[in-house]
Structure 1
Amino acid sequence: MKERILKSNYYKNYKSQLTILLVALLFVIVIPILFAITLFASDQLGTSDIGKLILFLLLVPLACFSPGLIYFGYKLLFVKINVNKFKLYTGTIQDINTPVYFRSNYRDVSIQIENTYLHHSKVFKGELYDEIHKGMEVEVAVYQDIVIII
């Protein structure tokens, strides 16, 4: 079950989002910092006013990227650390909601587990995205408020 959770579209989606943010951060911050260090000597970078201005302007994008890095990193680590605590259930899809006005890579679904619990989850682009329909039985892994369709 551990391998199935780590290969699920839920986990892959957050991993790809984190990778995209890290690559964007690399191009926005790391490469300009290396360029600035080569322009100015490293001992002048921290002492001159121009060096302080460049460092400040390069740290501003870091503040913009940090909420996304923290969010996607938390989601990945939470699933990876607690992968053995997930319990496997069979559920029936009750409702499917696809965003109408905005393009997205997921569909919101409501899943009824054992005729008692109604959980909400997302089906990300991948294996089940086009095949999903009402009344379909799916295997879900549940831990706390996270429901992963396997």
Structure 2
Amino acid sequence: MRALHRGLIRVVVGLAAAAPMAAGVSAQATVKLDDPGALLEPCYQSVTVSNDGAFAVAFTVRAENSDPFSTEWTTYFGRSEARTLDVGDVGVGEHTPVHVEAVAAFGNPFKSRDFSFCHNGHTKLIEAKGTAADPWFEER
């Protein structure tokens, strides 16, 4: 019975060691904790909110690190409209963690997951959906 138990343990340990490699990840892969951008990839230079909902929406981009900042809020804009904010225009540092805060007129506020800022020309898309009675936002 002990031999069977030891054999099962060896198989489980062997499978656990092979799982990262089977997923295309090196068993030696590490994340440098002194590089905050490594934790928040991919990174984006700008944010676009597209309003596909039946309500008006406004948004800002914020960082809440040791040097907090916020872009100016956009004006409220309606259905089938979009607004883009270039995060680099406010002088935020490369690989700074930021997030989007949006609000539907008369609705609940939305806060996106954090992502990293970098000067790369990429744009993060957030879509406003639903109705004034039931607004929501989807990150793309």
Name the structure with the higher strand share: 2
Q: TM-score, normalised by structure 2?
A: 0.30
Q: TM-score, normalised by structure 1?
A: 0.29
Name the structure with the higher helix share: 1
